[in-house]
Chains A and B, each alone.
Chain A
């Protein structure tokens, strides 16, 4: 399989074309530097992403708190983590960096809050 990558490590944005099968790289071409090569290798063998999403909040000044994984996770886990975020709920107040879920998927991934939510005594649930 042949694929062209735009390297996102630095603003040069090199186009690097790669021939590979599964995770086996056959050929890398383009005006790449070692960083670009590493980037493409990682993208094919072990692509990592930070998951970002949101979780319901009970009695907060917002009805949702935005969350992210504390470290980049395997791309294949993104959708699974997304499904987990739909099933949980946290109580206000919430601080930035507060752990919302420990040890997601038993992979040592923590889901942490990225927004400050104050307690709102007037709101009813879900609004």
Chain B
């Protein structure tokens, strides 16, 4: 069985950044395994701009952002397999890959999981009604329009105000379709403010908050949906139902980290993030298996995916040199106001970047890190929004000799 130093599962934003970072650390024997016929993952279909503002200080489109990493992979001759899918991962860090050569087995000292995420579907949110054609998840519509040259429809309703849904509302408008409305079940948008402004407002597309789709009609092809307004407790307000004629429904209702391989390998997952539970270096409960990108937690900005990949490679290099020790185990306790925290555990007290999402939008909040009621760090936040991930670094000095951590938002 061929043995590699590092195998990276997934050749998208996270996998490419991890590969380049490994190479920079002097790790020679790397293999990227990619399921698709090209590198770059989902960035290839994200042809809008706004990527790279933090990483490259310029606004790039998705394909341009990906190419910056692909060029480095090619330049440094980092090996990769295309059209190759990992079928199985074991706790012994063996992988089974299938491609047109048949089945192949590899073993690695380190596995980096970078499989990304997939979209929630109609089934996941249980919209009742007929089952006609014309219902797509926003990302699938994006792939069809931007890569495959298929137009999905002419008169469109978007359910969910996630970023991809709003970006597709703009894209479809520019491609000549009519986007009737975007309905969002929550009282606030789940996307970034700049997308509400540049994708919906610019084209006079209404965003209906507290609204959802309650019925779907169509024989063969979708002919219309029924939307309704929701009350404070999420119930349908009587009399608020109305029918909207359309031939296409796009769903932008959330993303799920793709962790089937992780689960089979016995990696412990966090029920809230949907990604593996990790320590401060992105290491899972299985030694030598690290995670980064959307398979760990769904990000809103690709720059943060690249930064996270580079950050966990620090731990990969330490592990390969035998310097990554579990000195202790501190579970991070989550207090009020926060939905999740990554990492979930600390094994050493080095400089650590924590990522959070809040439960609901708010203003003038304070994020507090405590060790049994002793303050570790306090950070004022003018505005918080569930759509925007909060990333905060705690230095080894701030973490020095702590026994526990509790984080809360007040």
Residues of A within 8 A of B (CB): 5-6, 8, 11-13, 47, 49-54, 56, 62-64, 66, 68, 75, 78-79, 82-83, 86, 96, 114-116, 126
Contacts and interface: CB of A to CB of B under 8 A. Distances in A.
A63 B196 CA distance: 30
Contacts of B62: 66
Contacts of A116: 63, 67
A78 B174 contact: yes
Interface of B: 44, 47-49, 59-64, 67, 145-149, 171, 173-176, 193-194, 196-198, 202, 382-383, 385, 388
A12 B49 contact: no
Contact of B67 (A6, A68, A96): A96
Given A66-B61, A79-B174, A5 B197 contact: yes
Contacts of B49: 50, 52, 68
B382 A115 contact: no
A106 B388 CA distance: 40
Contacts, number: 75
A75 B63 CA distance: 23
A68 B58 CA distance: 14
B61 A78 contact: no
17 contacts: A47-B202, A52-B48, A52-B49, A53-B171, A53-B175, A56-B149, A63-B148, A64-B148, A66-B62, A78-B202, A79-B173, A82-B174, A82-B175, A86-B176, A114-B64, A115-B67, A116-B67
A75 B197 CA distance: 12
Contacts of B44: 115
A9 to B, nearest CB: 10
A62 B61 CA distance: 17
A54 B47 contact: yes
A64 B61 contact: no
A114 B174 contact: no
A48 to B, nearest CB: 11
A12 B194 CA distance: 12
A49 B49 CA distance: 10
A96 B64 contact: yes
A66 B63 contact: yes
Contacts of A5: 197
B197 A6 contact: yes
A115 to B, nearest CB: 4
Contacts of B67: 96, 115-116
A8 B64 contact: no
Contacts of A79: 173-174
Nearest to B390: A11
Contacts of A63: 147-149
Contacts of B145: 54
Nearest to B174: A82
